Amino acid sequence: MKSKTIKAPKISMEWVDVPKTEDVPKTEDTDDKNPEKSVSPAPSELDLVFVVDNTGSMGSWIRSAQENVQKIIRDIVAVEETNVRLALVSYRDHPPQDKSFVTQTHDFTSNISNMQKWVDQMRADGGGDFPEAVAAALYDADNLSYRPNSTKVCILIADAPPHGLGCAGDGFPDGCPLGHDPLQITRSMAAKGITIYSVICGNFEGQAFYQGVAQMTGGQYIPISSAHLLAGVIVGGAQEEISLEKLMQDAQNTVIAEEEAAGQALDEDELAAKVQNMFRKKGGAGIRKIQFGGADLPDFEDCASHFTKGNSLADVRKTKNKGHLAFGSYGAGIDSAPAMDEATFTTTDLASAPSYKQCKRMVYKSKARKK
């Protein structure tokens, strides 16, 4: 069965909770005759795609998405006026492992009712062997109709690795039977400015893959065990990415200038320090950072580098120590410790410069986009 893209109808409706200018009563401060009035900036644009495993073990995660779609959008636009469009890629597995579907894909819409309908149609069922059709899902996500100037965020929600990592019992040990390589697709997404947030549902062999694809795109990975936290991840991640995207041109200019001055490529750590120093001198505000229980999200583990440095899954499979198959060090998730029972995801406003970790992520994005 071939992966296919189902195009959403073209519509012009925008999120109704964002007030339009003509709906705001005029006062002396908003009167067109006032030559000194302030002009509000145009709303930022957010293209947000959910890529969701729809196999049998994902029931609670799908229900959480179904229950929170409208709240997610309200919470995003509550902080900043944002023109939000949503897309959905549901995936299971390739036949004969699963004969229902490989992917079901809905392109971007600004109609929240359409998105709610699509999400409500998701069902957790099937799956066959342990790995799933992740590469086919990423291929569909890469080929959606993103707006050129939007903040582009892909929320990848999974509890199993892609085919072709070398996991035991893989029905397609050489990778996706459609010929899609997820590392090459991820690099294509990074070049387009698409940032992956990997929501790792529990702990499993090969979870390092999800750390790798997040790091390659300048995103983050979030290992959690409780589905009720999903909405907080999506809202916080979207808000942080909107704020960072406004800084990307300055960050990219700095990366280019520093490497040209050095006459060679510089590593991410060195460039991150230079980018942060630039922002400290420049000053600014409006930078947001998602946290869990008052702490930053996890740093990428060494196992992620197998994927960030590999050209393809075939290269990664050659790893002698099998470090690419490592389980995560957070066990079931960052929320699994008893002290984190009541912890939530929050978004913190930073006073001036972005954090070092944020600058390093912007370096990854800059390197990917200039190629």
Spatial distance between the Cα atoms of 366 and 258, rounded to a whole number of angstroms: 12
For the cut 60, the answer to whether the pLDDT of residue 161 exceeds it is yes
Looking at residue 231, its pLDDT comes to 96
CA 106-107-110 angle, to 5 degrees, is 110
Query: Which pLDDT value is given to residue 14?
Result: 38
pTM of the model: 0.88
Q: Helix, strand, or coil here: 195?
A: strand
Q: How confident is the model over 196-221, as a mean pLDDT?
A: 96
Whether the pLDDT of residue 355 is over 50: the answer is yes
Q: Which residue reads 């339009």 in tokens?
A: 20
- Mean pLDDT of all residues in 102-116: 96
- DSSP summary character for residue 303: G
In CATH terms, 41-246+284-352 corresponds, of 3.40.50.410, 3.40.250.10, 3.30.420.40, 3.40.50.2300, to 3.40.50.410
Q: Please name which of 59, 75, 58 lies closest in space to residue 112, comparing C-alpha atoms.
A: 75
Q: Measured between alpha carbons, how far is residue 291 from residues 71, 201, 214, 299, 311 in Å? A: 19, 18, 17, 12, 32
**285: pLDDT confidence band, cut at 50, 70 and 90?**
low
Of residues 317 and 9, more confidence is placed in 317
Confidence of residue 42 (pLDDT cuts 50, 70, 90): low
DSSP state of 41: P
* Average of per-residue pLDDT values in the chain: 88
The whole-number pLDDT of residue 29 equals 36
The residue assigned the tokens 């390093």 is 360
1 pLDDT higher than 70: no
